[in-house]
A and B are shown apart, each in its own frame.
Chain A
């Protein structure tokens, strides 16, 4: 089936070549980072995690969203999702690959990565993150490939695939719970030290992932004969709507706890930094208000049935959902956790150009992989139709 990715229209090839170029530029920048060290990034002694880890955090959520189509289909027989579970699973594969790449490019000594296996440390959440992420990658790869191959051969998938699918459902929940635990268990970072962290990760994952899936379905519909079906899109958009409302509610909960209690140690200063600036520093303030506006726009468009059902406004709502949550999880969450620093000072962070190019290179790698996988899916579905 892999050979199906090698046949395509000129438009397909131009897209792939563009991605390869971005991957190439990112790779060259990464080689420079390997030779000079992380000094080429905007990271500093106070904000020691930045764009790379932020992207990793956001993409774990996107990866987990596959469960939002798999669970209804396999556990509740929602037949409408039958055609798109494979799209969810392959989206999960490329998202996890991006997550792993972002972790690798962030490491100071990536050549020592094997140490995590040689010296397993069960008390470290990072250890468990590696376990669950790689496990989830394997699960989705095996399940997706076998289900697609069975469809290609026009037979039922082997029985053991179903067992793996059932395992993938709680496993999906585990990947962002564990990722949230990376942050929520640290005593010194008050913005992150909230029991609500894992719940927030779940809510934003179930909004951003399906939103991306809807956008991808429309792209596939435009460039091929694949049609996910109106019912699938309708159900997905309802999921995005609810998840987005819950996400906004959770942000509200954080704001209330911090500001009503007036306890500085509950993230009050960090929230002030994010939304208004602190001690003259406010690099993230415009981003946060864009997040608020886009999130509000998304919720309005998703709640009103008329705009949710119309293709153009639904796509706008999904884009607004994805971008706003990318700002919140991919930028704000990680960076602001370090502000103010343990000595009550504000040291800001902004990514450098090489850092941004490496990030773009990793995104291009994920999209490259996603395009290959989706091309195979489309070719198979078109052939058996």
Chain B
């Protein structure tokens, strides 16, 4: 077929453009598919969307909205207890990296004054600033991390859990910059040599991806409670459906005064701390 170089380039360019535009259209279409008009409104409100369906269990149900309540009095009744942290580590193959520079932690303890710095004043009880508080990903309702992820590798399920897709993550660490709580860790190196005991029913991660607490989504989907909640010997961690007014967590939220971390930032966290 006789054609000029110019015409060939024109056709080639047009094909190339289609090749680029097609996945964009597909991506946008997939994002809208699940939620229609509501999805459009939410898109305008800048919250991250659920994206395409390539990752497992992206659905969840609208009827549940999972939350966690930390009863600090019960937690403080057992000094030096690390059961929730150890359970999480065992369950999710979290590597035990000795340097704080590169450590991976999904749930851990921090002093009260570091967790609630804006509450601190001179006349607190003397012991309070150092009292350990268990912190983890807040699975915010308005998560900044989801908003900034360029590939939707981190996304919010309908039941409110903020998930990670380790296969899609490009390791840009924008989510780590966005998270106001320091809840996320990055795999600076291959984590496998640092895993003490591998749990074969949960994946291990690779170097170069970000990870964080997933609220034991694999256990929740099987009707179980998160590992930390189950492991707590004091029953200080209460997990439940915030949408159900009769759930234990809602009961506790009615009876205790609860505070949240950095509530002024508009992230609407779903981890509540019940003060003693």
- The residue that B114 contacts in the complex, of A123, A125, A189, A345, with Cβ under 8 A, is A345
Evaluate contact between B144 and A108: CB separation under 8 angstroms.
no
* Chain A hits for B28, CB < 8 A: 120, 122
B74 at the interface (CB under 8 A from A): no
As a 0/1 sequence over residues 187 to 212 of chain B, the CB contacts with chain A under 8 angstroms (1 = contact) are 11110000000000000001111100
Assess A107 versus B150: contact at CB under 8 Å? Given A49-B177, A120-B23: no
Assess A337 versus B208: contact at CB under 8 Å? Given A109-B169, A120-B24, A124-B148: no
- Give the segment of B44-52, B216-224, B252-260 that binds chain A: B44-52
Evaluate contact between A188 and B186: CB separation under 8 angstroms.
no
Evaluate contact between A36 and B189: CB separation under 8 angstroms.
yes
As a 0/1 sequence over residues 27 to 42 of chain A, the CB contacts with chain B under 8 angstroms (1 = contact) are 0000000001111000
- The residue that B266 contacts in the complex, of A108, A115, A187, A345, with Cβ under 8 A, is A187
* Chain B hits for A103, CB < 8 A: 172
* Chain B hits for A185, CB < 8 A: 148
A342 at the interface (CB under 8 A from B): yes
* Chain B hits for A122, CB < 8 A: 28, 43
B76 at the interface (CB under 8 A from A): no
Evaluate contact between A108 and B182: CB separation under 8 angstroms.
no
Segment 105-134 of A: residues with Cβ below 8 Å from B: 106-110, 112-113, 115-127, 130
A64 to B101: give the CA distance in the assembly, Å: 35
Evaluate contact between B168 and A119: CB separation under 8 angstroms.
yes
B225 at the interface (CB under 8 A from A): no
* Chain B hits for A222, CB < 8 A: none
As a 0/1 sequence over residues 140 to 171 of chain B, the CB contacts with chain A under 8 angstroms (1 = contact) are 00001001111111000000000000001111
A307 at the interface (CB under 8 A from B): no
Evaluate contact between A117 and B208: CB separation under 8 angstroms.
no
- The residue that B110 contacts in the complex, of A37, A115, A130, A343, with Cβ under 8 A, is A343
A344 at the interface (CB under 8 A from B): yes
Evaluate contact between B149 and A107: CB separation under 8 angstroms.
no
B12 at the interface (CB under 8 A from A): no
Assess A188 versus B149: contact at CB under 8 Å? Given A109-B209, A123-B46: no
Assess A108 versus B187: contact at CB under 8 Å? Given A45-B102, A119-B168: yes
A341 at the interface (CB under 8 A from B): yes
Number of interface residues of A (CB under 8 A): 47
A115 to B150: give the CA distance in the assembly, Å: 9
A48 at the interface (CB under 8 A from B): yes
B236 at the interface (CB under 8 A from A): no
Evaluate contact between B173 and A125: CB separation under 8 angstroms.
no
As a 0/1 sequence over residues 332 to 369 of chain A, the CB contacts with chain B under 8 angstroms (1 = contact) are 00000110011111010000000000000000000000
As a 0/1 sequence over residues 310 to 347 of chain A, the CB contacts with chain B under 8 angstroms (1 = contact) are 00000000000000000000000000011001111101
* Chain B hits for A37, CB < 8 A: 187-190, 207-208
Assess A113 versus B52: contact at CB under 8 Å? Given A37-B188, A37-B208, A124-B150: no
Evaluate contact between A112 and B170: CB separation under 8 angstroms.
yes
Nearest Cβ in chain A — how far from B135, in angstroms?
8
A1 at the interface (CB under 8 A from B): no
* Chain A hits for B177, CB < 8 A: 48-49, 186, 189, 337-338
Nearest Cβ in chain B — how far from A267, in angstroms?
14
Evaluate contact between B188 and A123: CB separation under 8 angstroms.
no
A151 at the interface (CB under 8 A from B): no
Assess A188 versus B172: contact at CB under 8 Å? Given A109-B208, A119-B51, A123-B49: no
Q: Which of B24, B52, B206, B207 has the most CB of A within 10 A?
A: B207
A44 to B266: give the CA distance in the assembly, Å: 27
Q: Which of B100, B172, B185, B267 has the most CB of A within 10 A?
A: B172
Q: Which of B23, B28, B150, B182 has the most CB of A within 10 A?
A: B150
A149 at the interface (CB under 8 A from B): no
A43 at the interface (CB under 8 A from B): yes
A119 to B167: give the CA distance in the assembly, Å: 13
* Chain A hits for B48, CB < 8 A: 121, 123
A119 to B153: give the CA distance in the assembly, Å: 9
A188 to B183: give the CA distance in the assembly, Å: 12
* Chain B hits for A347, CB < 8 A: 100-101
Q: Closest 5 A-B residue pairs measured CB to CB?
A: A108-B171, A188-B180, A108-B208, A37-B207, A342-B182
Identify 12 new A-B residue pairs, CB closer than 8 A, beyond the known A45-B102, A108-B172: A37-B189, A39-B189, A49-B173, A49-B177, A107-B208, A108-B170, A109-B170, A112-B168, A117-B24, A119-B168, A185-B148, A265-B118
| 21 contacts across the A-B interface (CB closer than 8 A) | A38-B189, A44-B102, A45-B185, A48-B173, A48-B186, A49-B177, A106-B172, A109-B206, A112-B169, A115-B170, A116-B170, A118-B23, A119-B52, A121-B152, A123-B48, A185-B148, A187-B265, A188-B144, A343-B114, A343-B117, A347-B101
Q: Which residues of B contact A (CB under 8 A)?
A: 20, 23-24, 27-28, 43, 46-49, 51-52, 100-103, 110, 113-115, 117-118, 144, 147-153, 168-174, 176-182, 185-190, 206-210, 262, 265-267
